[in-house]
Amino acid sequence: MQRTRIKDMLAGETGGTVLLKGWVRTKREAKGFSFLEINDGSCLANVQVVADHTPELLPAMEQVNTGAAVAVEGELVPSPAAGQKWEVRAARLVVYGQADPETFALQKKRHSDEFLRTIAHLRPRTNKYGAMLRVRSEMARAVHEFFQARGFFNVHAPILTGSDCEGAGEMFRVSNLEAEKAARLEPAARAEAEFFGRPAGLTVSGQLEAELMALALGDVYTFGPTFRAENSNTPKHAAEFWMVEPEMAFADLADDMDLAEALVKHLARHALERCEADLALFGAFVDKTLLPTLTNIFAQPFARLTHAEAIRELKASGKSFEFPVHEASDLQTEHERYLCEERFGRPVIVYDYPKEIKAFYMRLNDDGKTVAAMDLLVPRIGELCGGSQREERLDVLTRRMAEVGLPEEPYWWYLDTRRYGSAPHAGFGMGFERLLMLVTGIANIRDVIPFPRTPGHLEF
């Protein structure tokens, strides 16, 4: 007999014989029978099993505790008691794996996020993390749906890279050499001994490669892991995270902002429509304002203002910020939060930043002072997307590289795209975990990825 997932079982209108397999959340003993709450991960809801203490069922039932993996065969019938529509009257009970109640870490009570991080191998079996993982999967699907419906191609950027200075952050070194042997070699000899014959690292961004693909396929996006060796210890940074990076040929900054806004709106709406039960859990126990916040995201256009206008808004606010507001500086976290949480009460896109505080590949505006960059800021989290129109003019690009002290040689292939058939193009990066923080209300990036990698943490 085929097992029935709880999600399908509870959605059905008729009962009948079912085979149910899952993990016991709680066991309640009564006189002559027991109640089991079973969860199989297919949805947030458990199904209640009623098992009489018959000679066939009792021996197995005595082995069952919270956490055990079981199979139950029985009749799905309307429940006579309040609390659930259906329940299963057990005819057969098989225990696949027991869970010793003396040592099993997950209890029926609520656990702190900090504790659950120390048992990341077991936390998917809790309501909150099960819900997060289902939403995560659904959001990944929605990202692909969004782009593919718009004619974007999914391209796979390399994870191993030889580009030493992509500019987005500190890179992890990758080597197959034994550490002791490598340490004894001179730099040149060491590079030669490396697997790739040169220093290698893990990618900090697929953007440059995505640009190459966009200048051939038109509209593309990458969706893959990204690595930053920054010693960042904050609720919104991880050393390994997943990033969505669309890149569009024949597009300018306005197109870029339109795409980012449409993407975030689509994902917020999709979460509300397709993850209703799981989001209700987050709305009830994680962030009471979650559902209004998400609705508000697609209810109205995002605010858009230039960096200079943002500075004026901040100065006119009359607020005393810890960090002074200055025309030549990037916005501080407190500034970002003021703009989207207080001043506008919705997501905000800030664009046209001073060139000094942005990367070399961003397109120089006609004023010669600003670049066509944009940051999409959302309440609570701050920067969700960061992007720009790319500098497509070879002479301007090489001049900018010289200004910031970047050698041209390692970027010969990048510059080649500006020599041959260069075209205006634009794109951005969206941190997938930050999106999940927005959509679930979960406050720490370590809790929206199954096994978070942060400084000093490589367990699991």
Binding of residue 213 to RNA (CB under 7 A): no
Which of 110-118, 129-137, 175-183, 416-424 is the region at the interface with RNA (rule: CB under 7 A)? 110-118
Residue 374 binds RNA (CB under 7 A): no
From CA 81, how far away is CA 38, in angstroms rounded? 17
Q: How far is the CB of 318 from RNA (least distance, A)?
A: 20
Q: Which residue type, as a one-letter code, is found at position 350?
A: V
Give yes or no for residue 169 binding RNA (CB under 7 A). Answer: yes
Tell me: does residue 235 bind RNA (CB under 7 A).
yes
Which residues, 6+ apart, have CB-to-CB distance to 61 below 8 Å?
Answer: 34, 51, 53, 93
Smallest distance, Å, CB 184 to RNA? 26
Residue 457, judged by CB atoms within 10 A of its CB (0-12, 13-18, 19+), counts as middle
Q: Binding segment for RNA among 12-20, 108-116, 277-285, 392-400 (CB under 7 A)?
A: 108-116
- Binder of RNA out of 252, 255, 334, 341 (CB under 7 A): 334
Local structure of residue 15 (DSSP, 8 states): -
CA distance 91 to 72: 7
Contacting RNA within 53-82 (CB under 7 A): 65-66, 79-82
| Contact (CB, 8 A) for 24 and 66 | yes
Binding to RNA in span 420-459, by CB under 7 A: 429-431, 433-434, 443-446, 456-457
419: its two tokens: 């020599």
| Coil, strand or helix at 28 | strand
> Is 65 or 317 the residue whose CB approaches RNA more closely?
65
Which residue, 67 or 283, is less far from RNA as judged by CB? 67
> Among candidates 207, 164, 202, which has minimal Cα distance to 361?
207
- H-assigned helices in 241-389: 253-274, 276-285, 290-299, 307-316, 333-337
Q: Write out the H or E segment, with its range, that includes residue 216.
A: helix 207-217
Residues 384 to 413: which contact RNA by CB under 7 A? Answer: 384-386
250 forms part of the interface with RNA (CB under 7 A): no
DSSP element (H, E) containing 6:
helix 6-11
By C-beta, is 270 or 434 nearer to RNA?
Answer: 434
The CB-of-7 to RNA minimum distance in angstroms stands at 18
Does residue 330 bind RNA (CB under 7 A)?
Answer: yes
Alpha-carbon span 21 to 39, nearest angstrom:
8
The site for RNA (CB under 7 A) is made up of 26, 28-31, 35, 37, 48, 50, 65-66, 79-84, 87, 89, 101-102, 105, 107-112, 114-115, 117, 168-169, 205, 228, 230-239, 241, 243, 323, 330, 332-334, 382-386, 429-431, 433-434, 443-446, 456-457
